[in-house]
Amino acid sequence: MAQSALSTTGTFSQGRDNVEPTLAARLSASRRRDKPQLSCGLCRRRKTRCDRQQPCATCSLRGHPCVYLANQTSGVISRQTAGDTASLQDRITDLERLVLTLSSLPMKPKINTVGVTSIPSPTNNGDTVFDDRLETGSMRVSASKHQYVGSDHWAAILDSIADLKNHFDREEHLMLAESPIQSLDGDSNEDGVFGPQHPSQRALLLYGCRPASSMAEILSGLPPKSAVDRYVERYFSRLDLVASSSVHGPSFIEEYDKFWTDPESVPIMWVGLLYSMLCLAIVASDPASHRSEQKQQQLQIDLYREKLVQCLMMGEYTQGGQHALETFTNYVYIEFRIRDDAEKDVWFLLGLEVNLAKRMGYHRDPKHFNDINPLQGEMRRRVWATILLGDILISGQMGMPRMIRDHEFDTAEPRNLNDEDLNRSMVVIPKSRPETEHTTALGIIARRRILIALGTISDLTASLVPCSYAEIMRVDAILHKARMSIPPALQMKSMAASVTDSPQTIMARIFLSHMFYKGQIMLHRRFLFAETASQPRDTFSYSRNTCLEASLAMLHIQKVLDEETCPGGLLRMMHWRVGSIMNHQFLTATMILCSLVHRKHILNRAGEIISALRTARSIWMRRGDGSREAKKATQAVSIVLAQAGGPRFDTNLFVERDNFVAVSNNGTDNGHLTSSNKVHEEIGFDEMETIFFVETFGLDHGKRIDDIIK
């Protein structure tokens, strides 16, 4: 039998060697790699239908360069080795990078060959023109939604990294295939706490709220006066900037005392304002130590939010009566604060808020109108400054241009006055106090100065009209001037030098620095990978260095806040201030550093950048259970760090995961800890590396590292 088998094998081998040459040629020509490549690179990688236009519809829709490979005859193409085939994707990626770089370079003027011997190279940054139209942003299209974000948004930066984009596209497709309804409507965990997309967490004013039948029904939701007193005190102490812009303290106390004397005598919109204060006081409470306490706080927030919306509806807020805008502004802030991630509902509510403010004339300075007394006029300036801030930050968070432009308002900056400096009987508003005095309005003034500069940057970066690099530098000077105009008490200090300051003051300083770095990133990010054409000096080096330094500084702020908002930290009571707005910019900085590592543009800053990304990943990982964005950031940083090389496998990922499990479960969930630790015992690090890259780059869609860990 053995001899027969060997004989048969030998006969087959001999016959194969004698196949006629023409058949062998046909077999070789039929190999897939020798077929003409008619689809563009992106469509071939995504395995989608390509219309073979230049650019094709898919690339145009997604804002990516459309690159076709030049077809070559089989006679010219030499036989490729396995290594050459594996590097084909790398060459395509390099080609895409080259196209992106060339497309961002300024066009050289055409040479008139008659009477012209040479073209002088530019000697001034103003000669360099950058076309922002090349930065098209990112578009996501599905059966359930069409979603666009501008090029400055962290999601657009992530999409610019091909490997990360492919990974998350695959994740999204797998999630939709596994549970399309759950993916669209939101997830719920074992405790029944729903994510932001669940109906119970949608914006009540947009999706419908049961109207109240009477004033008595609305008042029935109030807790005892002793509890209301505590909540009102917390509102004024912990939400100082919100309170100082919405409420004049002494006037409110008078109205508050009158309310408890005859509750039904006050306007319904004032009751709504009171409910908004109670709700925000719960939001700013200390973190719940037990699950039951956390659920109780959530029930209170839901109740007070519902009563607030009922007051807005009963008071017909679109009429713009007394307290209407202040109550609505607080409501938008509540909807924003109860969400861990950016949500479109808040942005749509912001549009209502802006239109209501304009309808009520807040965009015009009160000096134009005799019917507005000095107290009302000064409070209107504070409210308008807060609306400007919300417009810049929330619109930017959604990747959208701002809604209010500089030429549309003339409302002046508030004066540096305490609430006690203002009263209803005054005829002339007092002069502003020196900015060395920390008043209730000082924080509003400082934020307004920075956000005016941010507005100029937002308009410039959102414009479809090409601008010169000199214009970029002019706006950069505006931003630095705004930072220098911040009052001394709110200039940034180290944490060591701030130990005697109040948490509110420290947080105000950090937030102002956060806004400054945000402006630097918005303004200079587009030049991160741009190259100077035929010039003796690097025109864009300042922008590259500025963007890198701002990104590192932003992640340092994230690290400081992560440390100081923990139990025992200086900012523990301000933990609630680290919301989706700040996290949005932390995400942007994270993605910028990821893109630098991915494109190998880290030069001599590699250690600093990698260290910052490791720290950021640890923070994102701890927040991953409650935030989709944090989970996405964790995966993105892990992929980039694994690609960056170093150890055989980025073992810190598992160390951080174990630490996160231990902290989040307080050492009580031994089963989960054991399951996580088994990875180290049962799977060697070489196998871990294989599993990681199989999952990351799609070599085997059926096996996921999360499944192995669990």
Weakest mean pLDDT among 11-20, 551-560, 632-641: 11-20
Determine how many CB atoms are found less than 10 A away from the CB of residue 163: 16
Q: What's the pLDDT at 153?
A: 59
Could you read off the pLDDT of 444-501 as tens digits, one per residue?
Answer: 999 999 999 999 999 998 888 888 899 999 999 999 999 999 999 999 988 888 889 9
Q: Is the pLDDT of residue 384 over 90?
A: yes
- Whose CA is closest to 232, among 124, 338, 224? 224
Type of residue numbered 492: M
Q: In whole angstroms, how far apart are CA 493 and each of 240, 554, 555?
A: 20, 15, 17
Q: How many CB atoms lie within 10 A of CB 612?
A: 23
pLDDT tens column, 40-65: 877 877 777 788 777 787 776 666 77
CB atoms < 10 A from the CB of 442, how many? 25
In whole angstroms, what is the distance from residue 387 CA to residue 123 CA? Answer: 42
What is the average per-residue pLDDT within 235-264? 92
The per-residue pLDDT for 422 is: 94
pLDDT score, position 230: 96
Of 328-337, 374-383, 620-629, the one with minimum mean pLDDT is 620-629
Cα–chain center distance at 313 = 32
pLDDT one-digit tens code per residue, 147-188: 665 556 555 656 655 555 555 555 555 555 554 444 433 443
Confidence label for 398 from pLDDT (cuts 50, 70 and 90): confident
Least confident of 130-139, 287-296, 573-582, 660-669: 660-669
Instruction: Report the predicted TM-score, pTM, of the whole model to 2 decimal places.
Output: 0.69
> Cβ distance 364 to 372 under 8 Å?
no
pLDDT reported for residue 15: 42
How confident is the model at residue 99, as a pLDDT?
Answer: 46
pLDDT 10s digits, 525-551: 888 887 766 566 778 889 999 999 999
The answer to whether 134 touches 63, Cβ cutoff 8 Å, is no
Instruction: Inform me whether the pLDDT recorded for 660 exceeds 60.
Output: no
Q: Which two tokens stand for residue 151?
A: 């090029």
Q: What is the mean pLDDT of the chain?
A: 75
- Taking alpha carbons only, the member of 445, 443, 554 closest to residue 506 is 443
CA 140 to chain centre: 16
Min mean pLDDT across 26-30, 348-352, 500-504, 541-545 is at 26-30
Q: Which of 258-267, 308-317, 463-472 has the lowest mean pLDDT?
A: 463-472
pLDDT band (50, 70, 90) for residue 697: very low
Cα–Cα distance measured from residue 552 to residue 517, given in angstroms and rounded to the nearest whole number: 10
Contacts of 531 (CB under 8 A, 6+ apart): 101, 104, 105, 540
Whether residue 609 is predicted with pLDDT greater than 60 in this model: the reply is: yes
Measure Cα distances from 362 to 326, 367, 385, 436, 450 in Å: 12, 11, 10, 28, 20
Weakest-pLDDT range from 277-291, 304-318, 368-382, 637-651:
637-651
Output 120 or 257, whichever has higher pLDDT: 257
Residue type, 369: F
